[in-house]
Structure 1
């Protein structure tokens, strides 16, 4: 949730914020039949304090954590993620296998599954979903960020990885791709690529998304009728009371949700979420401030610290500020930041200084890279060599947000600002609300230097590097003479079928990024927490911040 993920209003008029695997097979041991047991289901209601409203209820157009938190309770994906990990396991597909060249993947589907409108989930439904995702209008292409991240393009164009879907009976599909990719099949675990009811999407015109201002007007389907195969069903969104209500899907193909209702209560202020939990008004919330961890545990709350699977970085865009085109300037900015002190003083226990643009648990991580040291004298020297001893730079940070990799943006900003000013850099402060211009403008390439981060979606190098370095936009590598080479090398590595060779290629790219290119400044990785009341158990903390609430038990 992983930069951010773009945030857009659910309805512009009414809502202000609302490892490549050769084959796999199911180890659940079930027959795929629906309605298999109650599994201790109760009539309880679980209320979770959400930091913001979802941008949409159609996950295909989702790009932010609050949207996906709701969507993943309603929808399932072909490939699932094993709870508590970043690794794949069977989902709506019980097994899959790829051709030797990686261009064709065959998925065997779980049988007996139905969408919550009663229509069958089968091979035809899968192909209709993929064809719908690939054939978007201009607004849809702008809104569906994750399809672009995985597939690269639309309508089977030259830059589109997806090239077609065919059925083999009702329980098998074949997906065809233009080339091999490290993101297939594991990238199909992304919530944006969830399977949705073709009947409901047709009936409520799911593709009728329109651009308006800086956001989008969502379809009737996306606002009122999201229809999946997940453990919960959409019930209502009360805009006035800022609550989203889901109810248990009693026909779910897997273990039934333990609670009858799941309510998301939108509480933007983190301190208010804490007080609401302590008062028993909500049953949990995400990203408690690290300074509150001990007091929450002392109060008997069930606080879980997730493994760190994220990167905080300082993005740079040389097209906005030509001074940043000089490698010596970028190196000086890096040497001037006391990252060891920043991590110790501003981030939770377990946070580490980053050596590259990914955490050390991701395939392709280069273990030989050392953290860039704090050296203000060297920073001053490099600025002098570049003729920029009087450098002035606009540094952006977001307000009204707390992120897994950035618990308190203003404190991190102030630490970096003080370090830069100590070496003679004039820092011009720019701040915007996270969902009120910051995301849109940084991703559109408006900010010369800005705080941003990324939580990985699954264990995949391209999910990090391929997201950070687009040819245009935020960290615009097109501004540099080596930009085309980096993009070509990333695509070549992603297309390498052999895992060992692919990881070696990514390790080399990581070294080049840090020693030769330095298009941005990776800062740290942090272990974020999630907290529930003393009477709530059963939720498995996810390094992807992708918890399944159907396992929650409320006593």
Structure 2
């Protein structure tokens, strides 16, 4: 089979957001690689760093780099290139449509970074970070060839990485093209060329697959659950379902009536029949979520999934009584185009409006994510469905962001969540040197979130992707190093 023929995929967003994006390209394209990736259990695993260790108080970390690796332009990968990437990170923070790059968040208290030889890098921190390797996983330790950086730390052109593919074309909002790096240090890709088209509308993406205009659908919400069910079992197509770090949350404005009362938040959570949501709107693709932290995290502890509509309605009646209550339910367009959020919102609307003895009215409004986030931060909303991924293998930033009183997401989403004990736990975790104690803190925060509801977890996503049987090797995976290297023309 001629593997030089181009294979086309479609996604809802740019797979190469370009020069102003912190990473230029999605990790899944295989253009760049990190120092540390993660294994199937969510724990740190070697990538461009083969091993690492730290001193007793976790303030000095030593990384041993993989030898014999070159960037796609032929430049050797070594300690100097790693140091140059830290120089670049210091010019940030840099925004991204994937995960932001902020050296102060990823490497808190970084005092110095230096090499002791060509393949050993030492990081020194002002305070111990026993889970630094978890924070560095994937997007936390992306490495690029230094010559591709502009003076301000953005990209001066196409990115240059150590991965199995290189970017050869990129037209923002339309498509990007990657080609095989035949000098890749690891197992090279099979197919020579991939084109990733940007098709925001789910129905149009699906039509493109059915018409043979593309051979596969990729990225978050690649194919709607109903579409996947339609072609699953058809020999002309392959549907792959895999684990996902994405959690679907029902965010609520806890700074205003009625969700400033925990009984309202608990009551709504009890009303939700999560399995019905998964079966009816996601065609069974998903897992009922009882807790805040996603199930793919190494620190995940299962929390009970409770469905008690009678108790839920009773709690809500205690809060709102018979007064007229108008609730605004926002749907971010970027997620509503990927997932069945309209149908899910209408289901939740029906639950709230049909509680006996209450007078609740829910209006649903879809808007672009930018304006939606502005309304949330201003407190001009009551409910909002939104996905959340795992920025790194260390969930500290998620707990701090959503649950800490001054947490960035708590503020920007208008959650209005406050719990003195949670603040104490987050502050302890920020300076804790004992990995075992950190695990205990993360477990307690999960337990608190399951009863205090800073937001309401609905379901843990399962990644669903689809491809034509004309190609083979395309599987749904959580971000890792495999990417598209095994994808090729069948036959």
Which TM-score applies when normalising by structure 1? Answer: 0.77
Shift of 1:377: 5.5
- 1:214 aligns with none
Relative distance call for 1:445 and 1:258 in structure 2 (3 A) is farther
Deviations, residues 30-50 of structure 1 (Å, cap 9, x unaligned): xxxxxxxxxx99423221112
Please say if 1:332 is aligned against 2:270. Answer: no
RMSD over aligned Cα atoms: 3.3
In the alignment, the residues of structure 2 paired with residue 143 and residue 231 of structure 1 have an alpha-carbon distance, to the nearest angstrom, of 22
Which sections of structure 1, spanning at least 5 residues, go unmatched? 1-39, 208-218
Mapped contact 1:80–1:88 kept (Cα < 8 A): yes
In the alignment, the residues of structure 1 paired with residue 57 and residue 427 of structure 2 have an alpha-carbon distance, to the nearest angstrom, of 16
Relative distance call for 1:480 and 1:465 in structure 2 (3 A) is closer
Residue aligned with 1:56, SS: coil
- 2:165 aligns with 232
Shift of 1:491: 4.5
Mapped contact 1:338–1:419 kept (Cα < 8 A): no
- 1:366 aligns with 301
Match of 1:421 among 340, 350, 353: 353
Q: Give the 5 Å matches for 1:36-435.
A: 42-54=3-15, 56-58=17-19, 61=22, 69=26, 72-82=29-39, 86-136=42-92, 140=94, 146-148=100-102, 151-152=104-105, 160-181=108-129, 183-191=131-139, 193-201=141-149, 204-207=150-153, 221=156, 224-239=157-172, 242-286=174-218, 287-296=222-231, 297-319=233-255, 321-349=256-284, 351-367=286-302, 369-376=303-310, 378-385=312-319, 389-399=323-333, 401=335, 407-423=339-355, 424-434=359-369
Deviations, residues 340-387 of structure 1 (Å, cap 9, x unaligned): 4223312232523211112344333334x3223232454344443466
Shift of 1:126: 0.7
Relative distance call for 1:447 and 1:133 in structure 2 (3 A) is farther
Shift of 1:101: 1.7
Mapped contact 1:353–1:525 kept (Cα < 8 A): yes
Deviations, residues 229-267 of structure 1 (Å, cap 9, x unaligned): 211111112358x22111222222222221111211112
- 1:469 aligns with 403
Deviations, residues 42-67 of structure 1 (Å, cap 9, x unaligned): 423221112122573358625xxxx7
Relative distance call for 1:386 and 1:265 in structure 2 (3 A) is closer
Mapped contact 1:383–1:389 kept (Cα < 8 A): no
Mapped contact 1:472–1:478 kept (Cα < 8 A): no
Deviations, residues 123-175 of structure 1 (Å, cap 9, x unaligned): 111112113212327xx479996334x8438xx9xxx3433211111111012
Q: Give the 5 Å matches for 1:517-528.
A: 517-528=452-463
Relative distance call for 1:390 and 1:546 in structure 2 (3 A) is farther
In the alignment, the residues of structure 1 paired with residue 97 and residue 318 of structure 2 have an alpha-carbon distance, to the nearest angstrom, of 44
Which sections of structure 2, spanning at least 5 residues, go unmatched? none
In the alignment, the residues of structure 2 paired with residue 45 and residue 99 of structure 1 have an alpha-carbon distance, to the nearest angstrom, of 49
In the alignment, the residues of structure 2 paired with residue 266 and residue 294 of structure 1 have an alpha-carbon distance, to the nearest angstrom, of 23
Relative distance call for 1:540 and 1:292 in structure 2 (3 A) is closer
Mapped contact 2:328–2:382 kept (Cα < 8 A): yes
In the alignment, the residues of structure 1 paired with residue 217 and residue 279 of structure 2 have an alpha-carbon distance, to the nearest angstrom, of 25
Deviations, residues 97-142 of structure 1 (Å, cap 9, x unaligned): 12222222111111232223333321111112113212327xx479
Deviations, residues 186-219 of structure 1 (Å, cap 9, x unaligned): 3323336411122221xx3353xxxxxxxxxxx5
Which TM-score applies when normalising by structure 2? Answer: 0.86
Deviations, residues 444-471 of structure 1 (Å, cap 9, x unaligned): 8764421012233554443643453362
Relative distance call for 1:258 and 1:446 in structure 2 (3 A) is farther
Residue aligned with 2:33, SS: coil
Mapped contact 1:235–1:246 kept (Cα < 8 A): yes
Shift of 1:276: 2.0
